[in-house]
Amino acid sequence: MAVLFTGCTKKYEYVTPNQTIFFDVDSGDWTRASDGKTYLVDLPIPELDGQVNQDFGIVVSISGDNGATYEALPEVYGGYSYSYTHHVGHLTLERQIADGSASGPQPEANIRVKIVLVESQQ
pLDDT tens digits for range 55-112: 999 999 999 999 999 999 999 988 999 999 999 999 999 999 998 887 788 888 899 9
83-to-17, 51, 80, 87 alpha-carbon distances in Å: 25, 22, 10, 14
C-alpha–C-alpha distance, residues 80 and 39, integer Å: 11
Of 1 and 109, the one with more pLDDT: 109
Residue partners of 38: CB distance under 8 A and separation at least 6: 32, 94, 95, 96
Residue ranges of domains in the chain, CATH in brackets: 18-118 (2.60.40)
Residue 14 has pLDDT above 60, yes or no: yes
Q: Give dist(CA 26, CA 102) in Å, integer.
A: 23
